[in-house]
Amino acid sequence: MTLKSLSDDKPVGVIGAGNFGSAVANLLAPQRKVLLYARDESVIERISNSGENRGHRMHPNIEPVSDMAHVAQSCDIIFPIVPSAHFRSMMKHLSNYLHPYHLLIHGTKGFDIQLPAGQTLTSVKTLDRNHVKTMSEVIREESVVVRVGCLAGPNLSKELAAGQPAATVIASPFNEVIQIGKRLLRNDRFQVYGNNDLVGVELAGVLKNVIAIAAGALSGMGYGENAKGLLISRGMVEMVYLGRALGGNTKAFLGVAGVGDLVTTCNSSLSRNFNVGYRLAKGETLRDILSSTDEIAEGINTVQIAKKCAEHYNVRAPITTTLYKVLFEDLTVKQALDYLMRYPLHVDIDFL
């Protein structure tokens, strides 16, 4: 199919009616009719009756649907935006209706883990790249789709819903995917860049969630901008080390989807991951935090995965390792910060 036939005739599909899925649907809707898939019939009913979802005023060009087959049959271009824990099962379902002509651009910042038999994420000692998959790799493993991309960047849903200026990156090895993504999403308040390093951009979007939790903890402890600047800069170095070990290119971490997203989520109370760290610093337990929200902070699982990958590849990752002890062992936030300030590291930048 040509770019024109993919872009001009049919509706665009969005799988997932959470905060970010709703925001992406609203960005697409001025250009094209959007079929927004939701599993929950109450969400379908709410959007149909009130035109609202999770605080988003939904564009009238959006049609909520509960039939995944209908989305695939009606749309050549689909944006899957569901939590990483459910992404593979969603793709197994969706793949029954997909064909090689489909084009998928996902917006999920998380990892898919395929563990050895009998192991859990808690029990497994280390993880290598064979067990850790990005969402584009899941799409390719579970479907016949070839043209795959991802959407990543500093894209806080509430700011997008308010029409505030923002930007994103469409990453794909296929320039056609990048051009279609730009064409569908770009507007006067939303800039769209392209990047051919799909895996690198995915890794940047995932790993920054770890540093965002640490930034929230800093804020919760009452520390100021000097400390945050130190955390963000050292966090970026840590992301690059681990990202390269997992197959990404350094350049992907230095653009909008890397440092741009990192700075945003490390400075915003609108970030779910930031709020996890903030609440931990205020004395709440991880169990209490998880039980009080229906939104998934991808960074919690990412901390476990990144720590075990760092150990497998012998990558220096003191922020990730220390945050793991806060989340899953008995280290306090204050003890963690005291330890990191004493960590013996004297070289600033050594990855360029």
92: annotated active-site residue: no
In the set 109, 133, 208, 308, the catalytic residue is: 208
Three state DSSP letters for 29-64? CCCCCEEEECCCHHHHHHHHHHCEECCEECCCCEEE
> How many other CB atoms are found less than 10 A from the CB of residue 97?
15
b/e string for 154-175 if b means 16 or more Cβ within 10 A? bbbbebbbeeeebbbbbbbbee
> How many other CB atoms are found less than 10 A from the CB of residue 142?
19
Q: Among 343, 337, 291, which residue's Cα sits nearest to residue 317?
A: 343
Q: How many residues does the chain have?
A: 352
Tokens at 217, concatenated? 């903890």
Distance (Å, whole) CA 314 – CA 273:
26
Enumerate the active-site residues.
208
